[in-house]
Chain A
Amino acid sequence: GAGVSQTPSNKVTEKGKYVELRCDPISGHTALYWYRQSLGQGPEFLIYFQGTGAADDSGLPNDRFFAVRPEGSVSTLKIQRTERGDSAVYLCASSPGLAGTTDTQYFGPGTRLTVL
């Protein structure tokens, strides 16, 4: 595709529910990233995939958060037992995954998650 796309653009859920957020990276990009942006803050790193595997998941806040990328393209961020503090904009980015270069990350428009 022309850019990174994310669905849904908005998601409202109730405390305790399960949600899935989807990211479609730029075609051919092997690296994919999830970030979370709370109101008035910069994006905060969650997890990074190289291909199908999670190369760095050090930013996941707890075990309620999980992400997959089974075929090395689309990724899903899954949040169990949502809490009000999970409300934020979830950003996805992808990059070519080229070693030895800046490997620029291109961001999607984000999914705004609101937990009531």
Chain B
Amino acid sequence: GEDVEQSLFLSVREGDSSVINCTYTDSSSTYLYWYKQEPGAGLQLLTYIFSNMDMKQDQRLTVLLNKKDKHLSLRIADTQTGDSAIYFCAENPGGYNKLIFGAGTRLAVHP
């Protein structure tokens, strides 16, 4: 079945690294995505990784993919208060267009 799971909450100190984890179930997903949602705003695509890659780095963001364990992580280096938001992991089962999202991880950054 299609199911994406994430831990619900993460609290970090400003300047530290944040690691948000996600597990997915559909091995046929061709891309895996990370979206960010700030209060009252729509979803913003942060980054994505193709399923045959292990790692992707984009400025402060690093995505790691363990396809064997169906585990995806997002690392944010030097976390800032502006990074406080809900982060959603998503997969596209079967390589089709619809996205299946996790419930989101709320990241709180404190001084």
A binding-site residues for B, Cβ under 8 Å: 4, 31, 33, 35, 40-45, 48, 55-56, 58-59, 91, 93, 95, 102-110
User: Contact between A110 and B98 (Cβ–Cβ < 8 Å)?
Assistant: no
User: Contact between A33 and B103 (Cβ–Cβ < 8 Å)?
Assistant: no
Residue B34 lies at the interface, judged by CB distance under 8 Å to chain A: no
Taking the nearest CB of chain B, how far is it from the CB of A97, in angstroms?
A: 9
User: Contact between B45 and A103 (Cβ–Cβ < 8 Å)?
Assistant: no
Q: How far is the CA of A38 from the CA of B73 in the complex (A)?
A: 24
Contacts of B45 in A (CB 8 A): 104-106
Closest residue to B40 on the A side, CB-wise?
A109
Q: Which of B40, B48, B101 is the one whose CB lies under 8 Å from A43?
A: B101
User: Contact between A45 and B98 (Cβ–Cβ < 8 Å)?
Assistant: yes
Would you mind naming 8 contact pairs between A and B with Cβ atoms under 8 Å apart?
A42-B88, A42-B90, A42-B101, A48-B97, A93-B43, A102-B31, A102-B50, A104-B48
Q: How far is the CA of A102 from the CA of B34 in the complex (A)?
A: 13
Closest residue to B106 on the A side, CB-wise?
A40
Q: Which of B42, B44, B102, B103 is the one whose CB lies under 8 Å from A110?
A: B42
User: Contact between B98 and A59 (Cβ–Cβ < 8 Å)?
Assistant: yes
Q: A42-B4, A107-B43 are in contact. Are A33 and B101 (CB under 8 A)?
A: no
Q: How far is the CA of A46 from the CA of B45 in the complex (A)?
A: 19
Q: How far is the CA of A45 from the CA of B90 in the complex (A)?
A: 11
B binding-site residues for A, Cβ under 8 Å: 4, 31, 35, 40-45, 48, 50, 88, 90, 96-104
Q: How far is the CA of A102 from the CA of B96 in the complex (A)?
A: 10
User: Contact between A107 and B42 (Cβ–Cβ < 8 Å)?
Assistant: yes
Q: A43-B88, A104-B45 are in contact. Are A48 and B98 (CB under 8 A)?
A: yes
Closest residue to A58 on the B side, CB-wise?
B98
Q: How far is the CA of A48 from the CA of B94 in the complex (A)?
A: 15
Contacts of A48 in B (CB 8 A): 97-98
Contacts of A93 in B (CB 8 A): 43
Taking the nearest CB of chain B, how far is it from the CB of A5, in angstroms?
A: 10
**New A-B contacts (10) at CB < 8 Å, excluding given A33-B97, A55-B97, A95-B97:** A4-B42, A33-B98, A42-B90, A42-B101, A42-B102, A42-B103, A43-B99, A58-B98, A93-B43, A103-B97
